[in-house]
Structures are given as C-alpha cells and as structure tokens.
Amino acid sequence: MSNLLGFPFKTTYNIDIKEPVRNYLLVNGAIHPDAFRNDINRWQNLRKDGVGGVVHVDRANAALSYHAQLLSVLTKLPTDIGVEISYAPVFAPTSVPITLRNIAFERAAVLFNLAALYSQLAASEDRSTADGIKRAIPNFQAAAGTLSYLRTSVLPKLAFAPDDEEIPLDLSVSFVYGLEWFMLAQAQECWWQNARLNHYKNPLLAKLAAHTAALYRSAITTIREVEPLIQQLFPSAWLAHIEAKQYHFEAVSQYRQSLAELEASKYGVELARLGQARAAAKQAYDIARRGKVAPAVLQDVQSLLDTVQKDYARSERDNDLIYHDDIPAVSALPVIPHSAIAKPTVVPGLLNPESVVGPEGPIFAEMIGWGAQEAINIYNDRKQNLVKEKIVDGAQRLKDEADETLRLLNLPSSLEALERSAGLPPSLLQKAEQVRLEDGPAKIEAAIADVHRLGQQDTHILDEAMDILDNEASEDEAMRKDAAFDRPPSYEANVELIEKERRYRDILVRASVSDETVRQKWDEWEGDIVQLTADEAELEAAVPSTNLSHSNRSSAEAADALKHSRALRVALEALDSLHRELQDFVRRAQSLADADDIYPRVLSAASGLEKLAEVKPEMFEDVSDQELAKYDKFLEEINRGESRQAELLATIERRNEQFLQSRREDPSLKARENALRALDLSYQKYREIVKNLNEGIQFYNDLAQILIDFKAQCKTWSQQRSSEIHALARLVQAASLEDEDASSSPPRRAQRDERSSSRLPALTSSDWGFEEVALPPGPRR
C-alpha cells in the first residue's frame, strides 16, 4: 500500500440536460431551441466522460474539454436554467447527494474531480523507481495547481441561492485550501524521495525534508482552523496521516542534518539534532499508531524511529566517552533552511481553455451571451422608462397642468357661453361623446368592483403568509414543551418578518382609505357624469340660452368684448396646438422605441470580446448610452414645450382678465356659463376617477406579486425552521442513546440536517430584502 494519498471523486449521477435547457431557451432565448439541438446533445454527451469517476490518464483531457465547454455555456446562459445537478460529498459517496440548480456548481465539481484524478494517478505510481517518482511529481503538482485554480478563480464566483437547502461544504475555500496544501506537500515529499534515491548530500536532503514538513504543517493547520462542520468532512485517519507526516519529516530533517554535523565533526550539535529527531519521530509514531493510518506510513515512522534511536545511543556514548563536546540547547540550534522545489502547476488546458475545446468548437457558439442578453434587457428597460417617464408622462404632466389652470379660470366655458348663445360648444359635444362611447358609468362601476376584489385578494395573501408563521410558532411552542432547544423562540426569530407584515398591512389600510375616497368621489359626481351620457338634445335642454342681444349692448362694449374674446381664443388655440405637437412627439418617440433594436450593435460588440471570456452587462454601457442618445431630441422638445406652455398660460391669464373686464354681466349669460362649466367639470372628474381607478388596479396587481414573494419567504423560513427543530430533536434523541450506550454515534442524516439548518439566513440578511411599495397618487377631492 502507498504511503501517499489521493483523494476520491465527488460521486455524481446522470442528469437530464436536454429538457431543462430546451424549456429555458423557449422562454428566454432569442432563437428557437431547435437551432441548438446539436449543442444540447453535445453537452449531454461531454458530461459522461468529463465529470470524473474513472482513474485513467485520458480522462484528464475529457475533464479539461468539458470544463472549457462549461466556460462557454456560462458565457451564454445564467447559472440557474433549471438543470438539477447532484454530487455526493467527497468522502461520503453513498450519502444523500446535494442537488443544486447551478451550472457554476457543476464547473467547480468538475475541477474538483480533475484534481482528484491527478492525485489518484500520482498515488498509484510505483515510487520505488525513479521513473515512477518522476511520473508522480507532476501529477501531485497538477492536483495542487488545479485546486489552486478552483480556489482562486472559480469558488469566488460560486454563489448559492437563498432557497438552496444544502451547500457543498467540500467546495468551500477552506476545505479546498487544506487539500491544496496536502497535495503540494506530497509533491515535495516525492522530490525528497527522488533526491534520496539519487544519493544527494545530507544538507540538501535536510532542507528538502524541512520544507516537506512545513507544507504538511500548513495543510493540517488549515484544516484544524476551519469551522467544525468542514473539518468533520475529512476522515479522522486522514488528519492523523497528515499530522504524522509533518512530524515524520521534521524528524527526517533533523536526522539528515545530524549526519551532516557528524561529517563536520560537530559531535555535540549532532547529538542535539538527534534529540530533536527522536522527539519528532516519537510524536509521529504515537499519532500514526493512535490514528490508525496506513501500515506503510506506520512502518516508515517505525523504521525512522528505530534508526534515530540507534544513532542517538551511539552518539551519546561516543560523546560521553570520547569527544566530550558541549550539547547546545535546542533554541541555540540554527534553523534548517528550506528548499522549496514543489510548485502548484495549473495545466495549460485551464490557462488556455480554447486549446481544449475540441474541433467542433464551443457549445452555443452562435448564441448571444447571457451578459450581452442582459445588456439588451437593461437597455430596453432604460429605453421604456425614459420614453414613459420623461416623454409620455412629461407631455401628460404639461397637459394636466394646463387643464387645471384652465379649470380655475373657468375656460373655455366662459368664452364659449359668450361665443354661442345657444346650443353646445363642439368641444363639449366631443367630451360627452367620449363618455357615451366608453359607457362611462358602467366602466367606473366595474373598475370599482375590480379594485375592491384585488384589495381583498392582496389581504388574503398577506393573511396566508401570517398563517404560515403562526403554524411555525405553534410547532415551535409544542416542541419546546417536550425539550429545551438552544435557539431563539419564534416570536424573537421572526421579528423582521412580522415587521414587514406590519408595514404591508399598513400599506393596505392606507390604500383602502384611498379607495374609499375614490368611491365617495364617484358617489358625489355620479349624477353629473351620467348626465354626460345623454343625447345631444337632452344636453342642450340642460344648458340655458342667453337672451343677450346687440340692442342691449353699446357698440363700443360689443367691439371691446369681441376683441378680447378673439385674443383669448387665439391663445387657447395656440395652447391646443402645442399639446397636439407634444402628442405627435410622443407618438414618434413610441414608434421609435417599438422599432428600436439594439441586438445587432450588442452582437457586434460582443464578437470583439475574447472567446470564453466572462461577458458582463456593464461591458456594453457605452453602446447603451450611444443608442439612448437618439431620444435626446424628444426630451428637448418636451423641455421647449414646457417653456412655451408657461408663456401661453401667462398670456391666457392676462387675456382672460381683460375679457372678463370687458364683458357686461348678464344673468342669462352667467347661468349658461355655469351650466357649461358644470358639464366640463363633470368630464374632468370622470377622467380623474378613471385614472384613479386604473392606478389602483395597477397598484394592487404590483403589490400582489410582492406579497406572493413575501409569502414564499415566510414559507421557506418556516420550512427551514421546521427542518432545524426536527434535526435538533433527532440530535437530542441521539444524545439520549449515547447516554445509554457510549459506543453509539449520532445518525449521519442528523448531522446533515444540522449542517443544513445552520445555514438559515438571518432575518437581517439581504436575502429577506424588503420591497418598498409606493401608494398610487391620492385622488383629489
């Protein structure tokens, strides 16, 4: 049996790649998945030989090729596309595997198994010959280099979802770092063995052994300092093996240096070195014997200890009888320099993955990268927000401000009452026709019912979330009656969720108050709005005619009133023309946005990036900014329209004041003016109520999704709390069994559940982030 170790593969299982990838591309891909049928099949086939499990030198190339293809996949797709990937823990191949929807997890596991392959190839070599040692050295160094690449380049990018029930602790940085030191130490030991086989001098052998011991010390120290759950992943015999190796090579280093001191006739120093070697060898032997390490390791330590003890007895006798040299204190002995020959080797296939992709090229080579697709999505979102908020809403805001100003000035009702002594103004007929065509009253009644229904639906979702928390609290309380558990009770643990519920509940209450205000407004204006649905004859009958004639007015008064009314009409028509122009700009901006496709530019920019490079959305910010610049002209028109409107409204206010002063008050004119104003105001209230209700419907729909997410968070939190308490219960039960039988041990599954429950996110974590909810604009009375 070898006195060096190779670590095992992480056991994996056959998975279905085709169906999840196809489903993802159907929903999210720009191209139909049938176009990538061959790529998907290649991915499925490459995985068979690329995930490890067979110890053969050719499998290293298969793993490197598969890893390069995974790099290509990760530039095209997000990590979670619905493919469920399963791997068992490294030293527990028959235990329940950890299953994650994470392609980055697959990549990390493939690299881990590649390092395992190198380590097993090295450990299987016959190191009794120089050729066997020379083959083992590069494999151990490749194992260390692959683990180093995994630790520094891959694991920092391996992120887990909040709802992942378990995470692979053997893919933690600390676990991999411990293995990396261990593989490097074994490579250094092979270098030492090669030097001894080639009869190098004792000083160099001492230096090589000193560094070998230092590497084993780094390995065991790294493992000992990690958290207990990770440390427990290593078999106890492995820890004993590594620690025994550390002391073994400390003894070897001191022993070889003692031989060099003997050759230099430094008999006292020789004896001191032998004393150090004997102490270290005894320590190595005790650890190896108690730790039940491999017989080959124990035999090596026993042989060294026997040799050191024999030489120590000889040296002590000779010094006492012949040399009488002073024996220096241990602290006075010079430190043995280290000779570090072993280096982690990152194989070319990892440094240059394109070289091992294969003749068929990367998988999904014709697909636009995920980062580029995200850049397109971000651009479209920015474009839509810009068009809506800055252009569409900007033009509407100007229109609303102008309408409010005209309403306060009683325009155009006061002007139309004078211009038309009988009948209805065309503008009012158009407004009444719109209400009739939309079946205004029925539309409002239906919208009020929808708002009420959606509000109750949102409240029900929130109540269901609270039921989940209440059930968890009841379970927690029931379990505490049977046993005491060292964890916060529910009313302390869920305080953040309860606070979020309170805030959501408050939002719903305030929204309900706003809804009631809208309903009251409808009750107040229902009769007036219903009147707008009457036919033209009924409306005309509701508006009195004036009996003001030219004989009642002086020619000067009439001329003055006519002049100011015409000036006022010109200003009002100019304002209408401005709003028509703004609406035309809005339509043009919306048409441009509908036809706007940044895909060709992003694709062109992405083609210039290095193949297999990680493409991030921020790489395309310059392209996005350049494309959005074409909307600047519309923003400028909105700004000019705002300045122009301010000028026109000032003119209208001045002309209206002149008009009011020039006209002669007449009771019939005043009655007609009031009737026209009432009908116009009814229309304005109709539009206002419809807008309020549409905003309410949109608000409740948006809030429903937020509440559904909150309910899911409550469910996930409660499930994890439930798993945690059941795991604790099993541990308590196992502890009771241990009290009855000291030789019994806790069930393996209970340990797995404990590890899982220990990852319950804190409620202050961003994983439970609160969604800010804005209430819809409040209705005006």
Those residues with Cβ within 8 angstroms of residue 610's Cβ, 6 or more apart along the chain or in another chain: none
- Using DSSP, state whether 12 is helix, strand or coil: strand
**157 C-beta neighbours (distance < 10 Å), count:** 12
- Using DSSP, state whether 778 is helix, strand or coil: coil
Sign of the dihedral through C-alpha 660, 662, 667, 669: negative
What number of helices (H) and strands (E) belong to the chain? 26, 2
Q: Which pLDDT score, from 0 to 100, does residue 337 have? A: 96
Please give the sequence-ordered ranges of beta strands (E in DSSP) within 82-169, or none if there are none: 85-87, 98-100
Q: Which pLDDT score, from 0 to 100, does residue 569 have? A: 85
The predicted model gives 173-183 an average pLDDT of 96
The predicted model gives 684-688 an average pLDDT of 88
Q: Are 343 and 141 in contact (CB under 8 A)?
A: yes
**565 CB burial (10 A radius; 0-12, 13-18, 19+):** buried
The predicted model gives 193-202 an average pLDDT of 95
What is the secondary structure of 550-562 as a DSSP string? GGGS-HHHHHHHH
The Cα 681–Cα 70 span in angstroms is 65
Q: Which pLDDT score, from 0 to 100, does residue 554 have? A: 52
The Cα 262–Cα 255 span in angstroms is 11
Radius of gyration of the CA atoms of the chain, in A: 41
- Retrieve residue 159's tokens: 């992120």
Those residues with Cβ within 8 angstroms of residue 458's Cβ, 6 or more apart along the chain or in another chain: 508, 700, 703, 704, 707
Is the pLDDT confidence value at 279 over 60? yes
Is the pLDDT confidence value at 672 over 80? no
Give percent of the chain with pLDDT exceeding 90.
59
The predicted model gives 529-551 an average pLDDT of 73
The predicted model gives 374-391 an average pLDDT of 91
Question: How does pLDDT run across 731-778, given as a tens digit for each residue?
Answer: 666 656 555 554 444 444 334 343 333 344 444 444 444 444 455 555
Task: Provide the pLDDT confidence category of residue 552 given band limits of 50, 70 and 90.
Answer: very low
Is the pLDDT confidence value at 540 over 80? no
Is the pLDDT confidence value at 717 over 60? yes
Is the pLDDT confidence value at 251 over 90? yes
Q: Are 565 and 419 in contact (CB under 8 A)?
A: yes
**581 CB burial (10 A radius; 0-12, 13-18, 19+):** middle
- pTM of the model as a whole: 0.64
**28 C-beta neighbours (distance < 10 Å), count:** 13
169-183, 189-203, 435-449, range with the lowest pLDDT: 435-449
Is the pLDDT confidence value at 21 over 80? yes
578 against 411, higher pLDDT: 578
- What mean pLDDT is reported for the chain? 86
Q: Which pLDDT score, from 0 to 100, does residue 557 have? A: 59
Per-range mean pLDDT, top range of 478-482, 590-594, 607-611, 758-762: 590-594
- Using DSSP, state whether 745 is helix, strand or coil: coil
Q: Which pLDDT score, from 0 to 100, does residue 169 have? A: 93
Question: How does pLDDT run across 101-135, given as a tens digit for each residue?
Answer: 999 999 999 999 999 999 999 999 999 899 999 99
- Retrieve residue 347's tokens: 């194989």
Sign of the dihedral through C-alpha 285, 288, 290, 296: negative
- Retrieve residue 556's tokens: 């000067």
The Cα 176–Cα 155 span in angstroms is 10
**292 C-beta neighbours (distance < 10 Å), count:** 12
**Residue matched to tokens 């100007």:** 398
Q: Which pLDDT score, from 0 to 100, does residue 80 have? A: 92
Q: Which pLDDT score, from 0 to 100, does residue 418 have? A: 62
The separation between the first and the last C-alpha atoms of the chain, rounded to the nearest angstrom, is 90
The Cα 269–Cα 22 span in angstroms is 73
**632-640 LR contacts (CB < 8 Å, sep 24+):** 634/387, 634/391, 634/585, 634/588, 634/589, 635/390, 635/391, 635/394, 637/581, 637/582, 637/585, 638/390, 638/391, 638/394, 638/395, 638/398, 638/582, 638/585
What are the start-end ranges of the H helices in 483-554?
490-493, 495-532, 536-542
The predicted model gives 607-619 an average pLDDT of 67
120 against 489, higher pLDDT: 120
- Retrieve residue 520's tokens: 């009251």
Give the amino acid at 597: D
- Retrieve residue 68's tokens: 């390069």
- The CATH classification number of 18-356 equals 1.25.40.280
The Cα 722–Cα 544 span in angstroms is 75
| Among candidate residues 712, 714, 710, 713, the one with its CA nearest the CA of residue 470 | 714
Q: Which pLDDT score, from 0 to 100, does residue 748 have? A: 40
The predicted model gives 268-277 an average pLDDT of 95
The Cα 480–Cα 474 span in angstroms is 10
